[in-house]
């Protein structure tokens, strides 16, 4: 497996983990409305979106 392929797989896995963590934090926020859970959900979702943008950028860059 090349380093590029590993990088793509790692980014995809990271997106799933951060999105899943965001969902977990939001579900806990609904059960126990503490601001920490909401902020964790929002920040994790922002990280997942950022990773998706970076993954798109990286895929375009390696195709050049």
- Please answer whether residues 51 and 21 qualify as being in contact, where contact means their C-beta atoms are separated by less than 8 angstroms: no
Q: Where are the beta strands (DSSP E) in the chain?
A: none
- Could you tell me the pLDDT band of residue 64, with boundaries at 50, 70 and 90? confident
Phi and psi for 52 in degrees, rounded to 5? -65, -40
Residue 63 burial class via C-beta count within 10 angstroms: exposed 0-12, middle 13-18, buried 19 and up? exposed
54, pLDDT greater than 80: yes
pLDDT the model gives residue 15: 98
Q: What is the pLDDT of residue 63?
A: 86
pLDDT at 1: 81
Alpha carbons 14 and 35: distance in angstroms, whole number: 24
Domain ranges of the chain: 3-62
Question: pLDDT band for position 22 (50/70/90)?
Answer: very high
Check pLDDT > 90 for residue 56.
Answer: yes
pLDDT at 26: 97
Query: Rounded to an integer, what is the distance from CA 16 to the centroid of its chain?
Result: 6
């Amino acid at each position: 497996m090349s380093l590029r392929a590993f990088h793509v797989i790692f980014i995809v896995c990271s997106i799933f983990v951060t999105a899943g963590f965001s969902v977990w934090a939001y579900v806990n926020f609904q059960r126990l409305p503490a601001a920490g859970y909401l902020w964790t959900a929002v920040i994790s979702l922002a990280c997942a979106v950022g990773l998706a943008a970076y993954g798109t950028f990286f895929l375009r860059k390696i195709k050049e």
